[in-house]
Amino acid sequence: MPSILSPEAIIVDAITGQLATVIDNVRLGYSATGIDNGDQFPVILVQLETLREINRQGSKARYQFSFIISVAVKTQAETTLELLRYARQVREVFPLNEKLCPASIKHSLSETEFDIAPGHSQLSFADITLTVEAIL
């Protein structure tokens, strides 16, 4: 029997599907200790940070999802340029004038925060918060 995705899962699938066009290695959920240097890099990590109900009318409610999208790469000579390129590509796959999926109303992207590791082979990150409002 085919599984039917919940409305929340459809939003998550839309986000990860778009991100897979930037880097095909996309993982849901992670912790600071959950990344291993043996993992394949670059990787895009997606973590649901908050889910807030804004208002409700009957069986439908307006929700605000907040996702942290992190691009992780191993540090090397070109890490800054590599992270800048990936951050730009992540922003480009979420045009603000297009819906992510039928349930989404609007979305926005935060500024990009960079954490460049001081040593080669350590992990460096570009973090962007994606906020999505949807009626579910």
Higher pLDDT, 99 or 36: 99
Instruction: Quote the pTM value.
Output: 0.89
What is the Cα–Cα distance from 6 to 26, expressed in whole angstroms?
Answer: 20
Q: What is the pLDDT of residue 14?
A: 95
Decide if pLDDT at 37 tops 70.
no
> Tell me, what's the pLDDT at 32?
52
Closest CA relative to residue 86, chosen from 74, 97, 96: 74
Number of C-beta neighbours around residue 115 at 10 A: 12
Distance linking the first and last C-alpha atoms of the chain: 24
Lowest mean pLDDT among 4-8, 58-62, 92-96: 4-8
SS3 category, 73: strand
Q: pLDDT tens-digit profile of 64-119?
A: 999 999 999 999 999 999 999 999 999 999 999 999 999 999 999 999 999 999 99
* Contact assessment for residue 127 and residue 113, using Cβ atoms and an 8 Å cutoff: yes
